[in-house]
Amino acid sequence: MNSTRLTVGIIGAGRVGPLLGAALARAGHTIVGITSPSEDSKDRVEAILPGITFHDPLHLVAASELVVLALPDQELRGFIEGLSLQKSWNSGQLLLHTSIAHGLAVLDSARAQGAIPLTVHPLMEFTGTSMDLARMSGAWCVITAPAVAEPIASALAVEMGMEPVVVEEENRPHVASAIALATSFSHTTIHEAADRLRAAGIDNPGVVMQPLVSSSMENALRLFAGNERELGGDD
């Protein structure tokens, strides 16, 4: 396996998979293909990954040094174990999933066949469009990996433009909870505020609120960062 440039198969053509593929391609890795998207998503995926070819998962696993699993949380375990039953994973193959709900344990059946497990979860919401590539630059990324593979996971995150933060397996539920709290709270609050603006006769509440919400969030995060520095949180 080439230590710096890898052949990469993307399994999952939703919002996340194609963007990670594009970021890895931009870093010089070779994308051998992606699983087939829905008919409605085909144009979007081809716009993000020009010239991409669609393959079944078995072909992608056989042809790739790095397999990216960008699947819904509820599908991940069944997919991995299904391919494990077919003895599909290769010894020394990097197997990376993007779920924050699962840690390394979900990859155990593939690890037993010699695959190297990694988890890389970008701390951002994906739109599934090319604008996400710009957003990935400077975004933080939660990684978990065996000690010997941690530098590989960190390097992949950096190559995609993100800042890696290592989280131990036992602490991942805390991160998942924090992400769920932050995103659900912001969505609920904004929707409620938008409804009230509509009731006031404002037809475009999203446009009206965008500068307010953005500046409010920036101020809150800036104050929090300032408090951390006062308390020595940046040591």
| CATH class of segment(s) 7-167 | alpha beta
What are residue 108's phi and psi, to 5 degrees? Answer: -60, -40
Q: Which amino acid appears at position 202 of this protein? A: I
Residue bearing the bigger pLDDT, 15 or 210: 15
Q: For 51-78, what is the mean pLDDT?
A: 97
What are the residues whose beta carbons fall under 8 Å from the beta carbon of 111, sequence distance 6 or more? 95, 104, 117
Average pLDDT over residues 25-37: 97
pLDDT tens string 120-171: 999 998 999 999 999 999 899 999 999 999 999 999 999 999 999 999 999 9
Band (pLDDT 50/70/90 cuts) for residue 230 is: low
- Asked if residue 17 lies in contact with residue 34, where contact means CB atoms within 8 angstroms, the answer is yes
Q: Please, what is the angle between helix 150-159 and helix 17-26, to 10°?
A: 90
| Mean pLDDT, rounded, of the chain | 90
- Domain ranges in the chain are 7-167, 173-230
Question: Are 166 and 141 in contact, with CB atoms under 8 Å apart?
Answer: no
Asked if 15 and 41 count as a contact pair (C-beta separation under 8 A), the reply is no
Which tokens in the block code for residue 2?
A: 């080439």
pTM value?
A: 0.83
The Cα 175–Cα 102 span in angstroms is: 11
Burial of 124 (C-beta count, 10 Å sphere; 0-12/13-18/19+): middle
